[in-house]
């Protein structure tokens, strides 16, 4: 099966076919290029999607800790790697398929052009040989006709009795000349014919088959190249399938790593304040005035009038004062985190201590390295000047002292917080025991207490008039004191509704901390306001709310 023998007369069709083959190859190359652009755009869009949903964190405190969040961010990382594999596919296709096709197409065009030029030259040479043969044939034919005419003229004059001998002789000479020229043209025509037949045989059996064979081989190589590119097109993606599978497996592992119990515990760790829940409300007996009216001789323990304020009045006044602190003030964070609840403050202080310890370890390692380097310089002066390291060593020692002071200060704050939390826990435990022991020992007024004289330990308050007993929102009557406190730290009280205090100052507690980190207190002169709970040491009465 050869084009040279089977398609010896189809030069024009072979010209069109080889051109179609190159066009088809370039068409496939264009298809690969568009596929590469799709892969690149797909990878770019995936990366943009990952970037859009990745957390924008500025500090370590904003690091996601919930397993569901960590799993999602791991999935985003795997998806980012998956996008990278799509880029690898595009790059492999561009190098192995598209680039190879474009180079091969250029070489193919050059080779095809050369073979077609050779075929056209061979055809032109054969056409030239045919023209020479045809010209000699026509010339021979023409000379034969002239010789025939000369023969007829000679015979006519020879038979004519009136013709002169000279005319006959002239006609005879003309006949001989034409006959000789016809013979020469005959020999030339025979030679040209023989030469043309040889060239034609060579053209159709040697030259053209060789040229067409080269065209056939070129077209077959083009087909083979397309087959290789088809395979390379698939291999470009098949190579990354194992990595893509690992990305997908990573996503599945991320999904399996979600732990709902751990997330619930993290919510507790994140928002736990460390405050104790409020205690039981004391029973306040408002019927003692009735008993006194019925019988003045009723045996009852006198109760200070300050405690006869209606509980609704207390609650109403508390509500009126709490509006300012319904949400924590968004002021600047304090250095000792005293604006935070105890548990959160303890965690923050512990984190800061850990960070300071890490920094101290780094500075210590740097100091050791500088000392070693200084020893080396002292033993080998040619390596460097030991004095050049002294400023850096001094700076490092200064940083170490500063860090130690910071650690000591934060550890003192941490010890204070842990001591307060333990004290509150002990008070709560003691209060629970007292509550269980004194149940059933009700005083005539209905208050649960061991000693009626300890029922109110605060300073004398302004007595509420009996007619104002049911006024729930009267702000003129002060709230009763439920304990006292001592200021551990000074507080400036710049914000509206706060109360300034000095270190060591004694204040009365008129409302406990509701969980927002603030306690309502009052001075001896009657000035009221809120103070940070972490700045005071609180002592509550046994029968007060929350004790």
List, in sequence order, every beta strand (DSSP E) within 488-534.
506-511, 518-522, 528-532
Q: What string of pLDDT tens digits covers the 547 residues of the chain?
A: 788 888 888 889 999 999 999 999 999 999 999 999 999 999 999 999 999 998 776 555 555 678 999 999 999 999 999 999 999 999 999 998 999 999 999 999 999 999 999 999 999 999 999 999 999 999 999 999 988 988 888 888 888 878 788 888 888 888 899 899 989 999 998 999 999 999 989 988 999 899 989 999 999 999 999 999 999 999 999 999 999 999 999 999 999 999 999 989 888 888 877 777 777 888 877 776 665 555 444 444 444 444 443 433 333 333 333 333 344 444 556 777 777 777 777 888 888 899 999 999 999 998 888 888 888 888 888 877 888 888 888 899 889 888 988 898 888 888 887 776 666 655 555 555 444 444 433 333 333 343 433 333 333 333 334 344 344 444 446 778 888 899 998 888 877 888 889 888 999 998 888 878 889 999 888 888 889 888 898 888 765 444 3
521 forms beta bridges with: 509, 529
Residue closest to 185 by CA, chosen among 142, 129, 121, 221: 142
Beta-ladder partners of 539: 484
With vertex at residue 322, the alpha carbon angle to CA 321 and CA 327, rounded to the nearest 5 degrees, is: 150
Closest CA to 364 of 400, 403, 392, 402: 400
Q: Report how far residue 506's alpha carbon sits from residue 502's, in angstroms, rounded to the nearest whole number.
A: 9
């Amino acid at each position: 099966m050869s084009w040279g023998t089977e398609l010896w007369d189809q030069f024009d069709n072979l010209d069109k076919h080889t051109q179609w083959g190159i066009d088809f190859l370039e068409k496939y190359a264009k298809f690969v290029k568009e596929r590469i652009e799709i892969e690149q755009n797909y990878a770019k869009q995936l990366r943009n999607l990952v970037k859009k949903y990745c957390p924008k964190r500025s500090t370590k405190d904003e690091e996601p800790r919930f397993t569901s969040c960590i799993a999602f961010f791991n999935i985003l990382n795997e998806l980012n790697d998956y996008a990278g594999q799509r880029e690898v596919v595009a790059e492999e296709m561009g190098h192995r398929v598209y680039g190879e096709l474009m180079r091969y197409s250029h070489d193919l065009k050059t080779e095809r052009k050369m073979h077609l030029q050779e075929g056209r030259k061979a055809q032109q040479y054969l056409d030239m040989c045919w023209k020479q043969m045809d010209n000699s044939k026509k010339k021979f034919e023409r000379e034969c006709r002239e010789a025939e005419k000369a023969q007829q003229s000679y015979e006519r004059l020879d038979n004519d009795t009136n013709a002169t001998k000279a005319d006959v002789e002239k006609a005879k000479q003309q006949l001989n000349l034409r006959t000789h020229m016809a013979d020469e043209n005959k020999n030339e025509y025979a030679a040209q014919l023989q030469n043309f037949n040889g060239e034609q045989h060579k053209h159709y059996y040697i030259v053209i088959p060789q040229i067409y064979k080269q065209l056939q081989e070129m077209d077959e190589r083009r087909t083979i190249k397309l087959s290789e590119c088809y395979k390379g097109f698939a291999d470009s993606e098949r190579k990354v399938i194992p990595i893509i599978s690992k990305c997908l497996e990573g996503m599945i592992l991320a999904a399996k790593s979600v732990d709902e119990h751990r997330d619930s515990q993290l919510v507790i760790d994140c928002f736990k304040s460390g405050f104790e829940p409020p205690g039981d409300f004391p029973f306040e007996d408002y019927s003692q005035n009735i008993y006194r009216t019925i019988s003045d001789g009723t045996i009852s323990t006198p109760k200070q009038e300050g405690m006869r304020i209606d509980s609704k009045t207390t609650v109403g006044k508390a509500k009126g004062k709490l509006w300012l602190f319904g949400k924590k003030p968004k002021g600047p964070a304090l250095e000792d985190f005293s604006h935070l609840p105890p548990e959160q403050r303890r965690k923050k202080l512990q984190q800061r201590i850990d960070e300071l310890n890490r920094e101290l370890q780094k500075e210590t390692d740097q100091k050791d390295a500088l000392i070693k380097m200084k020893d080396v310089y002292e033993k080998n002066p040619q390596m460097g000047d030991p004095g050049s390291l002294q400023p850096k060593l001094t700076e490092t020692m200064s940083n170490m002292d500063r860090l130690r002071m910071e650690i000591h200060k934060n550890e003192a704050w941490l010890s204070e917080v842990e001591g307060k939390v333990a004290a509150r826990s002990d008070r709560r435990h003691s209060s629970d025991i007292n509550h269980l022991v004194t149940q059933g020992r009700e005083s005539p007024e209905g208050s649960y207490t061991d000693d009626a004289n300890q029922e109110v330990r605060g300073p004398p308050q302004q007595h509420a008039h009996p007619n104002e007993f049911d006024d729930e929102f009267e702000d003129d009557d002060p709230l009763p004191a439920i304990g006292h406190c001592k200021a551990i730290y000074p507080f400036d009280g710049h914000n509206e509704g706060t109360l300034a205090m000095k270190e060591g100052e004694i204040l009365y507690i008129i409302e406990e901390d509701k969980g927002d980190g603030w306690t309502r207190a009052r001075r001896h002169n009657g000035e009221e306001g809120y103070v940070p709970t972490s700045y005071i040491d609180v002592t509550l009465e046994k029968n007060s709310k929350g004790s």
